[in-house]
C-alpha cells in the first residue's frame, strides 16, 4: 500500500478517534463540571449582591422589603417552580447538538469504512488497519494522560472572570433601575 493511502487512512482514523474521545469527555464530564461551576458562581454572586445591598440599607428598609416579599410568597413560589426546571430552548439546543455530534462521529466512521472497503474490493489493497489503530490508540493514551494532568492540575484551577464581576453588574443594574 502506498504511503499516501496509509497516511490518509491514518489521519482520518486519528480524527475519528480524537473527535469521539473529545465528544465523550465533553458530554459525560466537562459539560457537568462547567454547568455546576456556572451555577455556583451565579449563586455566590447573587448572595454577595444582596448582602451588599442589605448592608447599605437602613434596618427599616430591610424590614419593609421583607414584608413586601412576604406578600409575594405565592408568585415567588410559582416563579421558583417555573424556573427550577430546565429551559426548553436549552434542552432542545443541547439535544440537537448531541445528535449532530453523534452524526459527525458516524459519518467519520462511514468514511473510514468506505476507504477500507474500496481499497479491499476495488484495488485489492489490504491496509494495515489494526496496526494503524493500535498506533493511534497508543498515541491517544499518552496524550490523554498528559491532557488529564494538565486539566486537573492547571485548567480546573483557572478563574476566567473575577467572582465579583456578576455582583458588580447586578448592583449597577439595580442602581440604574431605581
Structure pTM? 0.64
Whole-angstrom distance, CA of residue 48 vs CA of residue 57? 14
**pLDDT tens for each residue of 115-146:** 888 888 888 877 788 888 888 889 888 988 89
Whole-angstrom distance, CA of residue 152 vs CA of residue 154? 6
Show the cell assigned to 152. Answer: 486537573
Q: What percent of the chain has pLDDT over 70?
A: 91
The count of domains in the chain is 1
Q: Which domain holds residue 124?
A: 3-177
Q: pLDDT band for position 110 (50/70/90)?
A: very high
Amino acid at each position: 500500500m502506498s504511503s499516501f493511502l496509509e497516511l490518509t487512512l491514518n489521519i482520518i482514523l486519528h480524527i475519528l478517534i480524537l473527535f469521539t474521545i473529545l465528544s465523550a469527555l465533553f458530554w459525560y464530564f466537562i459539560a457537568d463540571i462547567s454547568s455546576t461551576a456556572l451555577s455556583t458562581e451565579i449563586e455566590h454572586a447573587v448572595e454577595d449582591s444582596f448582602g451588599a445591598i442589605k448592608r447599605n440599607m437602613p434596618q427599616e428598609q430591610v424590614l419593609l422589603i421583607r414584608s413586601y416579599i412576604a406578600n409575594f410568597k405565592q408568585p415567588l413560589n410559582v416563579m421558583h417552580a417555573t424556573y427550577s426546571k430546565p429551559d426548553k430552548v436549552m434542552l432542545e439546543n443541547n439535544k440537537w447538538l448531541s445528535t449532530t455530534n453523534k452524526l459527525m462521529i458516524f459519518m467519520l466512521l462511514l468514511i473510514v469504512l468506505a476507504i477500507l472497503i474500496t481499497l479491499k474490493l476495488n484495488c485489492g489493497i489490504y491496509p494495515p488497519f489494526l496496526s494503524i489503530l493500535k498506533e493511534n490508540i497508543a498515541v491517544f493514551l499518552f496524550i490523554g494522560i498528559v491532557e488529564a494532568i494538565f486539566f486537573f492540575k492547571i485548567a480546573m484551577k483557572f478563574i476566567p472572570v473575577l467572582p465579583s464581576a456578576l455582583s458588580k453588574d447586578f448592583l449597577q443594574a439595580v442602581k440604574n433601575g431605581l
